[in-house]
Structure 1
């Protein structure tokens, strides 16, 4: 299964490892191989425990959001990474903690200028966390404006039309369908149309 999205049944939440409130700890963005974010987070957490770095590396986050994906005519709730190829690490940066993160399998680098990691603010992390905890799952957009689609359900079944508007939050798409020689807008559920 693609590591960028997973069904809810296969999600193993990565518990926070915060055991210390080190005032020198800052949040950093760590670049990983795309698709290996969860593996890197799990490996890094195991490494933190085995090397007793709990006072220096306080937390590891893989920001994810609930999305609704339509597959085979069914709605599936999936977790999708907000920043594929990146994880967030709260770390009191010194040589040992930098080396532990940097040499974890799947990590390519810290994000920053040259070889110097650049921290991000607690407010930025709070915004990201708030975004990941959104109550309402968002539809994963599968249609774009001017895509040609076939209506597969409802009174306009088998009609071909062009997408005029996409409402991702409601899971609706407005399709221009030719009826009696005139283009008529029809609002449909994502499940009622299929991309051609």
Structure 2
């Protein structure tokens, strides 16, 4: 067995998951899973507030691309990957191809670490807000003792995922620090 390296494969945009499933099925059918142990679609988790409910979804970091950890020394693997439905081919131009044997050039280890770091961070972190708030925006509190009240965003703390919201309580303006998940945009 040769050396496992990371490669980028182009896929039909919006069909990355389908292409990944086809590829994994095809590799399993040909007993080649040890030659391609990992097929990744780098994603990040984002949440959006809709109708007062928090919805978490995954968003592709690189639409139209799949990252694979593979040993392309085995002649069949390259062909199976490129002939899988939804996969267009390996990423690269003429400069990225090895002219001697026309094989794709693997990613540099620093690129791989950066991409895998983003993927690992995305798994660990709490989902980020898809549509951030702006200062002066009217928001409605959806959680806590002041649920149902409205206020105006006065400060945004992106790194902590919190807002300062000015709420009128008994005729006085009162600042409150709230999480992104405790408020929603007022329509």
Task: Specify the TM-score bucket, using the shorter chain as the normaliser.
Answer: 0.5 to 0.7
Matched, 1:157 2:156: no
After superposition, give the CA deviation of every residue in 1:161-187 in whole Å (9 maximum; x if it has no partner): 5676351x533235689xxxxxx9865
Superposition deviation, residue 149 in structure 1: 3.8
Which residue pairs with 1:172 in the alignment? 162
Larger radius of gyration: 2
Which residue pairs with 2:132 in the alignment? 143
Shift of the 56–166 alpha-carbon distance from structure 1 to 2, 3 Å rule, reads same
Matched, 1:119 2:110: no
After superposition, the CA RMSD in angstroms is 3.6
TM-score, normalised with respect to structure 1: 0.64
Would the aligned equivalents of 1:62 and 1:88 in 2 still touch at CA under 8 Å? yes
After superposition, give the CA deviation of every residue in 1:22-48 in whole Å (9 maximum; x if it has no partner): 32x321111212222222111101111
Superposition deviation, residue 87 in structure 1: 1.1
Residues paired across the two proteins, number: 170
Shift of the 98–144 alpha-carbon distance from structure 1 to 2, 3 Å rule, reads farther
CA distance in 2, matches of 1:65, 1:164: 25
Q: 2:20 aligns with which of 15, 38, 41?
A: 41
Would the aligned equivalents of 1:29 and 1:87 in 2 still touch at CA under 8 Å? yes
Secondary structure in structure 2 of the residue aligned to 1:125: helix
After superposition, give the CA deviation of every residue in 1:108-153 in whole Å (9 maximum; x if it has no partner): 2321124833421344334433432332313223125468444455
Q: 1:29 aligns with which of 8, 17, 22?
A: 8
Would the aligned equivalents of 2:46 and 2:130 in 1 still touch at CA under 8 Å? no
TM-score, normalised with respect to structure 2: 0.66
Secondary structure in structure 2 of the residue aligned to 1:40: helix
Would the aligned equivalents of 1:143 and 1:163 in 2 still touch at CA under 8 Å? no
Which residue pairs with 1:108 in the alignment? 88
